[in-house]
Chain A
Amino acid sequence: MIRVSQRGISHVLVSVLGWSCLLFASSVFGMAMPPQKPTQSVAAGSNAVMLKADDLRAAPDSKSTLLLRVEKGAQVRLQVSQGGWSQISSAGYTGWVRVLSVRIQNKDGIELSDLGALGKKPQGNVVAVAGTRGLDEKQLGLVSYDAAEVERLRSYVIGRQEAEQYAQAAGLHARDMSYIAAPNQ
């Protein structure tokens, strides 16, 4: 649980005023400054839960000072995610855990995208809307082959060269990386 302290109050501020205030609060309270803009749209100061136990570190680096071990299932506040790291507060400490160790929790009926974040257009209520076109087993079992749509699909197919040109123009560079094995159960 989070202690209500001066530090805690600063987090409330952050959640209310957003990213620009996080920068301000960071400088006032001496929190580690993220070197770059966050790459993920994450609401500042959101309720979150630890998906797995992880080390809370002073900086977004596995070699930085260990502050605390945060247990799986612990309720934390998540400030921001940046690359592979998320800044969280837990038990009065603020530090960094791996981004995949923590997950934002939403309140009933409120979506992540509605919580502020980075200019995302709200997609409407989560309540199911009657009359929307769904895809259930029954419907899928009744359909038949649509040759004209297959032809249309084919018309959009592009070759290797065009894909490579696209990537080059976008500044995307292929990187070597091995497939990841299943975790040991």
Chain B
Amino acid sequence: MTGFGTVTHKGMSNMKPGFLWFVAVGTVFGMFGASLVQADDLNDLFKGYLKSKIAPPAQEQPVTASAPATQEVSADKPADQLLKALMGGNVSEQEEVRIGQQIAGNLLGAAPLVRDDGLQRYVNRVGRWVALQTERPDLNWHFGVIESDDLNAFAAPGGYIFLTKGLYQRLNSEAELAGVLGHEIGHVLRKHHLKLLQKSQGIAAIGGLLGRKLKNEHEVVQNLIGNGAEVVARGLDKDAEYEADRIGLVLSARAGYDAYALPAVLAEIGHVAKDDKRVSLLFKTHPLPEDRLSHLSDAVADTLDALPEGQSGTGRFYRLR
């Protein structure tokens, strides 16, 4: 898991006088026994706090300092509620969506939506139909294809699902699209990323700031998810990926599609050279396709034998030029 941090461009530009940011660089911390601090006058004040809260070396640990009294929020404002919910592990759907939206917006800052209304509508129709087969059919599911030659797909809490144009162009059918979206939907259903955030040491660090009051909810969320959209580049554990594969297969089958379409995508991805840059992030954050196929194969065994053949939807598949 990568470090927890914040200081984005936006964060910097939003800084107001009195907002003091400082960065604790783990390696420096380890070497000198002190944090690298941008706001020197707060150094002593927070040194003790950092020493106690931020342990492991080699990770960046920016922490947001307190706001001046005039901009403080009271304990029952959304920012603090969110913090408490995260620390307690009982995040409401509204808060989950808030976190997901922040991650989605940051990811879109890196790779905007492909400018093709027909494509985006199509992906939302298929995605929503697949999502209707889940225990969260009424979540406000968002689907998007983003401008990137990489082969990858992303999920953020609250129902935000993206796949890259590079991956989309590799797909052969609507059933394959449904399988890929189903995998990501699986991450949302099982709250894999939310749990990752809750487990991260960052939450402990922010927790320490609870009494000090962060500026607003936006700041809390951005602090929680770290730098930009870096959270989507953090790998989940392998079992979470295998679970999402099983869910993706089941959801596409429930939606009436060929259940074997997701494995076909995995096989296809497996044929991309391992050192191809377009799959470097995917392979860094996921088990290799052959291992995923192998797990899926063991899990499925004979469970699909009685299932009537589903649709491939090849003819309907929206092709990008």
Contact = CB atoms under 8 A, between A and B. Distances in A.
Nearest to A157: B142
Contact of B250 (A123, A157, A179): A179
B199 interface: no
Nearest to A128: B277
Interface string A105-140: 010110111000010100100111100111111011
B86 interface: no
Given A173-B256, A181-B299, A139 B101 contact: no
A146 B105 contact: yes
A62 B150 CA distance: 39
Contacts of B2: 137
B230 A167 contact: no
Contact of B112 (A146, A166, A167): A146
Contacts of B106: 140, 143-146
Interface stretch (A1-9, A16-24, A25-33, A93-101): A93-101
Interface stretch (B28-36, B47-55, B77-85, B311-319): B311-319
Main secondary structure of the interface of A (DSSP, over half): loop
Nearest to B253: A177
A108 B312 CA distance: 29
B276 A127 contact: yes
Contacts of A156: 117, 120-121, 123-124, 142-144
Contacts of A99: 260, 263
Nearest to B134: A179
A70 B186 CA distance: 33
A180 B267 contact: no
Interface string A45-63: 0000001100000000010
A133 B305 contact: no
A58 B40 CA distance: 77
A146 B299 contact: no
A163 to B, nearest CB: 4
B111 A133 contact: yes
Interface string B264-305: 100110111101111011000000001001111111111111
B249 interface: yes
B267 A134 contact: no
Given A52-B294, A156-B144, A149 B109 contact: yes
Nearest to B2: A137
Given A128-B277, A166-B129, A175-B307, A142 B143 contact: no
Given A120-B172, A170-B316, A51 B128 contact: no
A79 to B, nearest CB: 16
Contacts, number: 255
B273 A143 contact: no
Contacts of A111: 268, 271-272
Nearest to A131: B149
A103 B125 contact: no
Contacts of A146: 105-106, 108-109, 112
Interface string B157-199: 0001000100001101010000000000000000000000000
Contacts of B281: 134-137
A41 B172 contact: yes
Nearest to A136: B281
B107 A167 contact: no
Interface string A70-87: 000000000001011000
A113 B267 CA distance: 11
A127 B150 CA distance: 13
Interface in B95-122: 101-102, 104-113, 117, 120-121
A118 B316 CA distance: 15
Nearest to B227: A141
Interface in B230-278: 230, 232-233, 239, 242-243, 246-247, 249-250, 253-261, 263-264, 267-268, 270-273, 275-278
20 contacts: A99-B263, A100-B260, A126-B276, A135-B150, A137-B230, A142-B8, A142-B9, A152-B113, A154-B142, A156-B123, A158-B124, A163-B125, A163-B129, A174-B254, A175-B254, A175-B308, A178-B250, A182-B242, A182-B246, A183-B301
Given A145-B109, A158-B124, A175-B256, 6 more contacts: A39-B312, A123-B170, A132-B278, A134-B281, A158-B128, A159-B128
